[in-house]
Amino acid sequence: MNARTRCDTEETRVLVVEDDRGIAESLVRGLRQAGYGAEGVRTGRAALSASTPDVVLLDLGLPDIDGVEVCRRLRARSDAAIIAVTARGEEADRVLALDEGADDYLVKPFGLAELLARIRAVLRRRRPAGPEILRHGPLALDLRTRQVSVDGRAVALTPKEFGILECLAADPGRVVTRQQILERAWDAHWYGPTKVLDVHVAALRRKLGMPSLIETVYGQGFRLGAVQEPQERP
């Protein structure tokens, strides 16, 4: 199963178009730390010649081509999500960028947390919705109602447990690192101990009645393994 979830941000490519080297490097670094594939260019021409990304973070104050014109040209040839960035903040600039195809805008200065939230929002609007129910053998996750069942039996999970399971069930067999799970199920800037994850995984295995379903890949993370029949409850 190859549904897009919070766990596959590394498949999302973000192009940062910003002429200020310091700002650009900081943004690229923050996006990469959050799991995105990020690259930076400093001119409108470079942005127009770059390979098509999933998201364009476009500064409107570029040195060679007006940012609104770059936005218009990008939109004419691509369905990438475009977030316009301006230090000017005038309503007319924002409206013009939106009219020329931008999906959203940010006014400098802004924080990384706000940028990541805007990226998630534009991707939700632009990407086709994935399946509402993820299945792996007798396991079923309803992403809309956030309910889980095993062989039709409802399993009550905490929000954190559901987040962990959703992360793994999006692509059974794929190893998801401990940090990726923590950042998606907890917070994008989780810096606490990873031991808390083991406690939730242990509870999740017990509740599902399939202890071997969630495999520990030592030194890497976790994955959903081959399905075995649920153990009988006493």
Per-residue pLDDT at 167 exceeds 90: no
Per-residue pLDDT at 231 exceeds 60: no
Non-local (6+) Cβ contacts of 190 within 8 A are 179, 182, 183
Q: Classify burial at 99, counting beta carbons within 10 Å of its beta carbon; exposed 0-12, middle 13-18, buried 19 or more.
A: exposed
End-to-end distance of the chain based on CA atoms, in angstroms? Answer: 33
Q: State the average pLDDT over residues 201-219.
A: 91
Mind listing the pLDDT tens digit for each residue in 4-36? 444 545 578 999 999 999 999 999 999 998 889
Q: CA 1, CA 3: separation in Å to the nearest integer?
A: 6
Query: Could you tell me the pLDDT band of residue 143, with boundaries at 50, 70 and 90?
Result: confident
Q: Note the pLDDT of residue 187.
A: 55
Query: Could you tell me the pLDDT band of residue 89, with boundaries at 50, 70 and 90?
Result: low
Q: What type of residue sits at position 229?
A: E
Query: Could you tell me the pLDDT band of residue 190, with boundaries at 50, 70 and 90?
Result: low
Q: Note the pLDDT of residue 227.
A: 73
Q: Note the pLDDT of residue 113.
A: 85
Q: State the average pLDDT over residues 102-117.
A: 88
Query: Which residue blocks in 3-111 are alpha helix, DSSP H?
Result: 21-33, 44-49, 67-77, 91-99
Q: Note the pLDDT of residue 207.
A: 94
Q: What percent of the chain has pLDDT over 90?
A: 44
Per-residue pLDDT at 2 exceeds 50: no
DSSP string, 140-196: EEETTTTEEEETTEEE---HHHHHHHHHHHTSTT--EEHHHHHHHHT-TT--S-THH
Q: Note the pLDDT of residue 127.
A: 60
Per-residue pLDDT at 111 exceeds 60: yes
Half-sphere exposure of 166 (CA within 13 A, CB side): 29
Q: State the average pLDDT over residues 50-56.
A: 92
Q: Note the pLDDT of residue 90.
A: 66
Query: Could you tell me the pLDDT band of residue 203, with boundaries at 50, 70 and 90?
Result: very high
The model's pTM is 0.55
Q: CA 94, CA 72: separation in Å to the nearest integer?
A: 13
